[in-house]
Structure 1
Amino acid sequence: MFKRLFWVSIGVGIGVVAVTKAQAYVKANTPDTARQFLLGPDQDHVTMRTLEGLVNEFNATRRAREAELNSKYAARNE
């Protein structure tokens, strides 16, 4: 289990470094209009907006699934 956790951590770390390098490359080598199209108008907080969107999507999906399971098992017990 610790090996898997180690390798997953390494993969996440490599992914973060790759995304950071790609965003830095895009910021340095593209015109402003193309950068705004790719990264949006708030180019300094792209990572936080992406992370916030992922967390919000996860929570919405979790709540929907929880409500589905609650209604399914509440109907079964009545």
Structure 2
Amino acid sequence: MFKRLFWMSAGFCAGVFTVMKAQAYVKANTPAPARQFLLGPDIDNVGLRTAQAMLREFNETRKARESELNKKYADRRH
């Protein structure tokens, strides 16, 4: 169990480190118009915007699925 937790943590840290280095490389070595096209106008908050978009999409999908299940099961009258 602890080995698995260790390797999952190590993989997560390696992934975060890799993404941070890749973003730093893109920021340093691409022209401003290309950088704004890839990362958007607010370059410093790409991670935060991505997390917010993922959370928003998750909530929209969850609500749609909840509505679908309510129509299917809760609205049935026996």
- Read off the aligned partner of 1:17 and give its amino acid letter: F
Partner of 1:35: 35
Partner of 1:56: 56
In 2, Cα distance between the equivalents of 1:40 and 1:3? 39
Q: Size of the alignment, in residue pairs?
A: 77
Partner of 2:18: 18
Q: Alignment partner of 2:35: what SS?
A: helix
> Unaligned regions of 5+ residues in structure 1, if any?
none
Q: Alignment partner of 1:20: what SS?
A: helix
Q: CA RMSD in A?
A: 1.7
Distance 1:25 1:62, change over 3 A: same
Partner of 1:72: 72
Partner of 2:47: 47
Give TM-score, length-normalised by structure 1: 0.83
Q: Which runs of 4+ in 1 moved over 4 A?
A: 1-6
Identity among equivalent pairs (%) = 66
Give TM-score, length-normalised by structure 2: 0.83
> Unaligned regions of 5+ residues in structure 2, if any?
none
In 2, Cα distance between the equivalents of 1:2 and 1:62? 32
Distance 1:64 1:7, change over 3 A: farther
Q: Alignment partner of 1:41: what SS?
A: coil
